[in-house]
Amino acid sequence: MAVVTTSRDGDICTVTINRPEVLNPLNTQVFIELEPVLDEIAADDSVSVVIVTGAGDKSFVAGADISEMQHMEPATAYALSTRAHRVFDKLENLPQPTIAAVNGFALGGGTEVVLSCDIRIASERAKFAAPEVGLGITPGFGGTQRLPRAIGAPRAMELMLTGRMIDAQEAADMGLVNKVVPHEALWDEVMRTAKAIAANGKSAVRLTKRAIRAGLDVDVKTGCEIEASLWALSFDEDRVARMTAFLEKRRK
């Protein structure tokens, strides 16, 4: 059975971590299967939005697979971490916007998946944590870098050094997720958001994401130079059609 599955609803693609019997933990096989899936999506111009979620009704991704890591040697651990970094970099830098549909536990590696997505929508049942230090290891799939950037260094330090679990509302208050919705309304809200994005100009959406991502780690002046270049690239035929439609409606 595949541990990573995909499905399509028009131009919206859903990627599911599919190990529900053990709450969808990340292991080497997940990364082996996920990487080519992301490569295929990146090359597929028919995909406008990507949703990432976990199979079942309890867990998004309940961390990394402890049974795989228990007797792992440092060299093997390094190889797994660098593989995870490569895969999550691909997820973060997909040309299409990504939405994390957090349907339950997002612990350790699960929080790191969430942090790699552009928009994060959580069920009220969702739980978040960076509990690695309690297992005698550090976060290893990008958490020490992405979490401080998302919620600030002091809050990230507190969560990662204590391993404290937080609920969905506290995660929203911190800025880790965009919004919290009733569990039964999660998928409707995720699809509403995905369809709202997909209704906009595809090139403009992708270039806007690219501008935001590229500008995060540079100064404002450099970021504005990046923005100007990408803004110019957005002046394509789709822009002509959309602006014409806008002006024609206004004239009526």
Note the pLDDT tens digit of each residue in 166-214.
Answer: 999 999 999 999 999 999 999 999 999 999 999 999 999 999 999 999 9
Q: Quick check: 50 and 94 in contact, CB under 8 A?
A: yes
Question: Could you list the pLDDT tens digit for every one of the 252 residues in the chain?
Answer: 899 999 999 999 999 999 999 999 999 999 999 999 999 999 999 999 999 999 999 999 999 999 999 999 999 999 999 999 999 999 999 999 999 999 999 999 999 999 999 999 999 999 999 999 999 999 999 999 999 999 999 999 999 999 999 999 999 999 999 999 999 999 999 999 999 999 999 999 999 999 999 999 899 999 999 999 999 999 988 899 999 999 998 764
For residue 43, give Cα distances in angstroms to 26, 30, 39, 97, 206.
24, 20, 6, 14, 13
Taking only the tens place, the pLDDT of each residue in 219-239 is: 999 999 999 999 999 998 889
Strands (E), 46-113: 49-54, 59-62, 98-102, 105-107
Q: How many Cα atoms within 13 Å fall on the side-chain side of residue 70? A: 4
Distance CA 150, CA 212 (A): 14
Residue type at position 70: Q
Distance CA 141, CA 41 (A): 21
- What global pTM score does this model have? 0.96
Task: List, by residue number, the catalytic residues.
Answer: 112, 132
What domains appear along the chain, each with residue ranges and CATH number?
Answer: 4-198 (3.90.226.10), 202-251 (1.10.12.10)
